[in-house]
C-alpha cells in the first residue's frame, strides 16, 4: 500500500508532507504509514502546531482553531506517543507576516532535525519554490529547507498521494 511513498522517501532525511487541513483521511493515512514505518526505522515527526505547545501538545487540541486541530490529528498524536515517536511543534505563533512565519517554521524544524524527520504541514508551507499568492511573494518553509538540505529533502503533496 505504501510502496510508492516509500520509494519517494528512500535516502531522504527530511520529508515534508503538505496536506489539506481538516480532512479525515490524511491523519488516518499518516497513522497507518507511520505505524508500518516505525517497525523498520526510527524517525521524528514535526507538526504545524505553535512551538509554545511543545511541553503539553494536548493543550493545543483543547482550542477550537482549525488547521491540524482536529480529532483525527489528536488521535494521530496519541498513537505516535504510544509508539515512542518524538513529536515536535514547529509553527510560529507570530502570524503578523506570512514570510516571517515561513522562515521561523524552517528555523524551528532545523533546530530539532537530527535524524529522519517527517514534517506535517499545510501544502503552502511544504512548497519548495517561491510563489505569488494574493499579490504577495511567498517564500515558503520548504524553500528555506531545500536551500539548506538540497537532495536530502523531499516534499510530498498528501492529497495527490491519496489519489494514487
Q: What is the pLDDT of residues 3-44, one digit of tens each?
A: 888 899 999 999 999 998 888 899 999 999 999 999 999 999
Residue 46's nearest CA partner among 28, 63, 30 is 30
Q: Which residue has the cell 482553531?
A: 65
pLDDT band at 64 (very low <50, low <70, confident <90, very high): low
Cell, residue 100: 516571517
Task: Please provide the average confidence, as pLDDT, over all residues in the chain.
Answer: 91
pLDDT of residue 154: 97
pLDDT of residue 145: 98
**C-alpha to C-alpha distance for 140 and 10, rounded to whole angstroms:** 24
Cell, residue 157: 503533496
Q: What is the DSSP letter of 14?
A: E
Residue that wins the pLDDT comparison between 82 and 134: 82
Domain 3-163 carries which CATH code?
3.40.50.11550
pLDDT of residue 22: 81
pLDDT of residue 96: 87
Helix (H, G, I), strand (E, B) or coil at 55: helix
Cell, residue 115: 535524524
Cell, residue 57: 501538545
Residue that wins the pLDDT comparison between 65 and 74: 74
Residue 65: pLDDT above 80?
no
Global confidence as pTM: 0.93
- How many degrees, rounded to 5, is the angle at CA 87 between CA 125 and CA 23? 50
Residue 136: pLDDT above 90?
no
Chain centroid to Cα 139, Å, comes to 17
Amino acid at each position: 500500500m505504501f510502496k510508492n511513498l516509500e520509494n519517494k522517501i528512500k535516502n531522504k532525511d527530511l520529508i515534508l508532507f503538505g496536506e489539506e487541513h481538516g480532512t479525515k483521511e490524511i491523519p488516518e493515512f499518516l497513522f497507518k504509514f507511520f505505524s508500518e514505518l516505525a517497525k523498520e526505522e526510527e524517525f521524528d515527526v514535526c507538526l504545524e502546531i505553535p512551538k509554545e505547545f511543545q511541553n503539553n501538545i494536548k493543550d493545543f487540541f483543547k482550542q477550537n482553531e482549525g488547521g491540524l486541530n482536529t480529532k483525527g490529528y489528536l488521535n494521530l498524536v496519541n498513537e505516535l506517543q504510544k509508539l515512542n515517536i518524538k513529536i515536535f511543534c514547529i509553527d510560529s505563533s507570530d502570524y503578523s507576516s506570512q514570510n516571517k512565519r515561513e522562515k521561523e517554521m524552517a528555523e524551528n524544524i532545523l533546530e530539532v532535525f537530527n535524524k529522519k524527520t517527517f514534517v506535517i504541514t499545510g501544502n503552502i508551507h511544504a512548497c519548495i519554490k517561491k510563489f505569488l499568492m494574493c499579490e504577495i511573494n511567498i517564500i515558503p518553509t520548504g524553500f528555506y529547507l531545500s536551500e539548506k538540505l538540497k537532495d536530502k529533502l523531499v516534499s510530498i503533496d498528501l492529497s495527490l498521494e491519496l489519489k494514487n
